[in-house]
A = this chain, B = another copy of it.
Amino acid sequence: MTRRSEFDTDTSIEAAGEASFAGTVTDRWDIAGNPNGGYLLSFAVRGLAATLTKPDPLTLTAHYLRRPDKGPVRVEIEPIRAGRSLATGTARLVQGGSERVRVLATFGDLEAAAGATAVREGPPDLPPPDACLTRGDELSPFPDPPEIFRRLDLRLHPETGWPRGQGTGVAHVEGWVRFADKRPPDVMSLPFFADAFPPAVFELAPAAWVPTIELTVHVRARPAPGWLQGRFQTRHLIGGYLEEDGELWDSTGRLVAQSRQLAMLLT
């Protein structure tokens, strides 16, 4: 008998009316008392996958509207278009009558992607996971280690500055990541992993909180089992607003997801 993974358990939804689902936001993916944005997004991904007619979330955009609560969440899907190769819809995450997250997504079938391939950049050149900084106090700027670091096995490049108290001055972080229970990554969990690293801007400036306004994830391939490698960077911090660009590669060295978010630096 296979035990169900923590991620699958904690993002599970069940049908609750037409194109509507019920789930529960747990406290097990928290950072400083707030559910991680990629964790929340995963409820929308599941609702969309259950409603739209294609298997892979090619592009997802989430706008974070209001602080979420732990407890029941309703996932309301509006299918917009079901085409031959693409299906588009929105998801609303609603708690207590108040919308917390709005998602717009297009799904497709990556197995049918038969066009040309030409890749300019590869994965980071990382030391092995055991030579990297491990999860725990040293990877958290918060007084208590975030709950999410019990669910994730995150290893940051040993030259990452901020865990040692001194940012490098360049908002660029790289590392390995997988679920702590070793559940293999898949297209359902890649949007979560795209928001699972500590903000790259920690290398640049001390921050109390870096709330995401908008997060877009492109899933580019179905990942192989094993570790993911991630690279996240911020090139432009302007008036307190910043973008963070991310890439995730699978254990075969293939790009599997790209992400960009617009966030605010609160000090």
- A residues whose Cβ falls under 8 Å from a Cβ of B: 58-59, 61, 63, 65-66, 80-81, 83, 86, 88, 90, 99, 102, 104, 106, 110, 113-121, 170-171, 204-205, 213-214, 216, 218, 220-221, 234-241, 243, 255, 258, 260, 262, 264-265, 267
Contacts and interface: CB of A to CB of B under 8 A. Distances in A.
Given A58-B213, A58-B241, A119-B237, 11 more contacts: A58-B262, A63-B80, A65-B80, A80-B102, A113-B238, A113-B241, A116-B239, A116-B267, A117-B237, A121-B235, A221-B238
A236 B58 contact: no
Given A65-B80, A240-B113, A102 B88 contact: yes
Copies of this subunit: 2
A118 B262 contact: no
Contacts of A61: 61, 104, 214, 216
- 4 tightest A-B CB contacts, nearest first: A115-B240, A113-B239, A61-B61, A59-B214
A55 to B, nearest CB: 15
Contacts of A113: 238-241
A262 B218 contact: yes
Given A59-B262, A262-B59, A110 B239 contact: yes
A243 to B, nearest CB: 6
